[in-house]
Amino acid sequence: MLDRIFAVAENGWIELVKRRAMYVLAAAVMLGFWGPVIVQHKWLQSTGAGARAPQALQRTVLSLDQFMFFVGLCASVLFGAGSTEAEVTQRTLCSVMIRPIHRGEYLAGRALSVMLFFLTFALAAVLCSYAASFLFGFSLPATFLWGIVQRVCRGSTWIIIALSLGSVTSSASTVSLIVAVVVLSAFAPHLSNDIHWVIPAFKKFLHFATPCDWTTDFLAVTGRGIPNQSLGVNAAIWLENLMYGVVVFLISSWVFSKRDLKLRE
């Protein structure tokens, strides 16, 4: 089974490379990270910031890391949501399905390839951050790598959700649904419960219908230590997100296995 999943993942990775997905990573690294860091470093030198420069550069690098993850997640969700639909539309899925492979294995392989693409953004963020720290003389917080792990776990959950939903509906519907849920989740806490009786029920529905948020954003924590209690709570949140993604994947995989796909003309 693993051999078949890895084979599909390899084909998916090759397809991403052919679709020039790596250009997104290159643009994020050069324009979204190094460009702003170098400009701010030169600006701090020209203004004589002195002792404040390392702290300012540290905050900038952490903010740019978050931006890189945002770009990587958006690109991964778009590629994941349209992954299966593209193969069905182009009739290239038949070359895969004529082999002895279960449709769930196919979806797992496609998800693995997109998550690998997302991991390249995580690796780029880590390497660029440590390189900037070495070149410009500032230190990264002790919680930096934990923050990277948080975003990898969270991003992987959304990638699984996007690819799973994209296998049973159109990519446009999947992306629209995810964007709507994210926007509603961001604005829901600011809605007053006194507006209407449905608001508290709506908030509770969003709470249980979406992956749980982290209690502590370790990438934004600049302290030297890591709260032990926060680590335990966030580990539970990671498991909850993992199970959420697995449940969505299993349901979508079952629906996808029942679909009558037009693999040939």
d(CA 79, CA 90): 15
Q: Which helix (H) or strand (E) holds 126?
A: helix 103-136
Over residues 41-59, mean pLDDT: 78
Torsion of CA 177, 6, 96, 89, to 10 degrees: 30
Lowest mean pLDDT among 70-74, 127-131, 161-165, 259-263: 259-263
Assess whether pLDDT exceeds 70 at residue 35: yes
pLDDT, greater one: 52 or 161: 161
pLDDT, greater one: 224 or 92: 92
pTM given for the model: 0.84
Assess whether pLDDT exceeds 60 at residue 224: no
Judge residue 190's burial from the number of C-beta atoms within 10 Å of its C-beta, 0-12 exposed, 13-18 middle, 19 or more buried.
exposed
Assess whether pLDDT exceeds 90 at residue 140: no
Over residues 230-255, mean pLDDT: 78
The pLDDT assigned to 22 comes to 86
The pLDDT assigned to 180 comes to 86
Over residues 149-161, mean pLDDT: 87
The pLDDT assigned to 261 comes to 60
Q: Which of 49-58, 71-80, 86-95, 136-145 has the highest mean pLDDT?
A: 71-80
